With several copies, the nearest count.
Chain A
Amino acid sequence: MSLRIDENTKVIVQGITGKEGGFHALRCIEYGTNIVAGVTPGKGGQLFNDSINVYDSMKSAKLETDANTSLIFVPSPFAPDAILESIYSGIKTVICITEGIPVNEMIKIYKIANDNKVTLIGPNCPGLINPSANCKIGIMPGDIFTPGRIGVVSRSGTLTYEAVDQLTKNGIGQSLCVGIGGDPIIGTTFIDVLDYFINDTDTDGIVFIGEIGGTKEQEAAEFLKSVNNSKPIAALIVGASAPEGKRMGHAGAVISGDSGKAESKMNALRDAGCEIIVHPGKIADTLKKII
């Protein structure tokens, strides 16, 4: 699984003719991303933004453009099929922004992506961005990012922006920022992104942003213990103030036993060598201490 995105990344936007898809496709293009085609079944033959061909199917779009990545804005009832169509077309990296995909559908899709060795990011995620290559595949506000050598990985969208904003304002640039999404079942996990950062020669340090609910942060901590990592990691876990048993928006934020609690996650990450960020306003400050 590679998360590298740069000038060689050729992106098809699925759902480009929709309001959200069109809006964000333009923002990506403005940022510098190489959007090579759009796909909306039944709208093949149209031109998007007077310049980008729209196709009826991923198969034809992939055939015509030799794209390697797709970015999905299709509404949730149709998004699972859009992901599958992407996988079957031979696309190797799929970023799904769509939120509200039923969990049972994601169980199947995860398996298919895995069987086909496809890197699926999301769903319900902001995407990823490489400021050095001017490549943004997602919905992040491009202006807050700046090139640099810190990798950011987070389950949350706006909290990622908060983190990046702090970094940028403190003069710390980013190598790659990945929002993995807040759903219980997601394609790319903390582990995958950490593994990438640890082996990425463009990354010197990592900001890790987790949440209450589930055990993905503990799994990430176990992974960190199992590898030989010398890169500094500053880790924030949000949700300590959320009461037990209440659902806080993210499906993942349902506290499930002790392991779902913020404290348990912080302990696990601290044990794995991470510097714990004690206040959401101190993300950049904490990182600065360790790099």
Chain B
Amino acid sequence: MKIHEYQSKELLKLFGIPTPESIVTENKISLLNAFKEFGSRAVLKVQVHAGGRGKSGGVKLVENSKDVNDFADKFFGKYFKTIQTGNDSVLINKILVEEVSNILSEMYLALLVDGSHQSINIIVSPEGGTDIEEVASKNPEKILNFPVNTILGPTDFQIREILDFLSLDIKSFSKLKNIIQGLYKLYLEKDCSLIEINPLIVDNRHELIALDAKISFDEDALYKHEDILDLRDINQENEIEIQTAELGIKYVQLKGSVGCIVNGAGLAMATMDVIQSSGLKPANFLDIGGGADEEKISKAMSAVLSDVNVKIVLVNLFGGILRCDVASRGFIMALDKYQSSAPKLIIRMQGTNSEEGKDILNATNYNISFAENLDQISKILMDKE
């Protein structure tokens, strides 16, 4: 689960990590008032979950009320697209007003889980404020990435090593230690899945400050953290994805024309690959997850059908537990609602009562092709277009 920058910074403060002075605003009047508190200069930042905000004009240094006014008119209540949101756009409800920092240098600092080392890793780079993946591919020597020992947490000698790698003065040791140990504590206590400070700056008073912050959380651990759940902004999320998630369906909307309904994430990706290798594009990822009853199956089908780009729906169910007759009834429940615009269906069902399931579907008037395996799915897809 992602949260906004202003929320991330509030968490950082709670864990003793310095951030710039800032005020979060929800309308033009409060934005203008907040600007006045910073005197004649401030940085305005739209609050959206998507990355690439700066390059898309969502961050601006303003030096008079007119600029503030224009920024408010341009963004408040408007939908915003960034390089990373693609065609999607997200609503802007909040704008952060922040003091202008005097930056001597910009660095990168992140914490995330490293499955290979079974650890939380710290990643730092002296090349902050830029796309870290670019640094990683072009100048890998400018990235220090090491696992934190589970028993010890970040140790003093490691913090000295980071200090050295970032060419910071030894006088900054306790400041850097405070930040790194604070972030590590935050990561563990709140079950984060990513904390990214980009940039971490040295300002002209030689303070280390988190100028931007991105935090996301392990969704499997949210049940322990009501305070974090309260930070969720569903306006930033895809509506269908939210609805399906409530039923335990993992749905991710994409851009293609072939909707798909699959049980299991791996098989879902394999099915998407089959679609792509047939010269088409998947309209979504969908894993119905375990324990699928009629309602859940129906909801999954409805989600796919509600995507106007979907021309074909591909069902690929495989397993010993799933009852295919139940699945078929669920599909029909949803299809009946969308009767007028029901797309072509390709159905592969293998599991308990698969024959009954097919009979139920065959008894309808929907345009259905049955496939026995992935190869046949490919062939039907290629025939279809």
Contacts and interface: CB of A to CB of B under 8 A. Distances in A.
Nearest to A218: B116
A162 B270 contact: yes
A59 B165 CA distance: 13
Interface stretch (B61-69, B101-109, B155-163): B155-163
A199 interface: no
A84 B155 contact: yes
B20 interface: no
Given A211-B266, A219-B116, A141 B161 contact: no
A243 B377 contact: no
B157 A85 contact: yes
A165 B151 contact: no
Contacts of A243: 254-255
Given A102-B218, A108-B152, A280-B274, A141 B321 contact: yes
Closest 7 CB pairs of A and B: A156-B266, A141-B320, A158-B264, A281-B374, A249-B265, A159-B266, A102-B221
Interface in B152-195: 152, 155-158, 160-161, 164, 170, 187-188, 191, 193
Chain A interface size, under 10 / 10 to 19 / 20 to 34 / 35 or more = 35 or more
B287 A249 contact: yes
B150 interface: yes
Interface of A: 20, 23, 27, 41-42, 56-59, 76-78, 81-82, 84-85, 88, 100-108, 110-112, 139-144, 154-162, 165-166, 182-186, 209, 211-212, 214-216, 219, 236, 238-243, 245-253, 257-258, 278-282
A81 B113 contact: no
B155 A158 contact: no
A184 B193 CA distance: 11
Given A103-B218, A104-B191, A279-B274, A162 B155 contact: no
A58 to B, nearest CB: 7
Given A85-B156, A104-B218, A156-B266, 18 more contacts: A27-B320, A58-B157, A76-B220, A77-B223, A88-B158, A101-B220, A102-B224, A104-B187, A141-B321, A142-B320, A156-B265, A183-B115, A185-B113, A216-B115, A238-B266, A241-B269, A242-B285, A243-B254
B320 A159 contact: no
B10 interface: no
Contact of A103 (B193, B269, B270, B319): B193
B157 A238 contact: no
A216 B158 CA distance: 26
Interface string B125-143: 0000000010011000000
A174 B220 CA distance: 34
A179 to B, nearest CB: 9
A190 B223 CA distance: 31
Contact of B270 (A59, A140, A144, A159): A159
26 contacts: A41-B170, A56-B160, A78-B156, A82-B157, A103-B220, A104-B191, A104-B221, A158-B264, A159-B269, A160-B266, A162-B267, A166-B373, A183-B115, A184-B113, A211-B269, A214-B116, A240-B273, A241-B269, A242-B269, A251-B220, A257-B133, A279-B274, A279-B374, A280-B374, A281-B274, A281-B378
Given A107-B150, A161-B318, A238 B118 contact: no
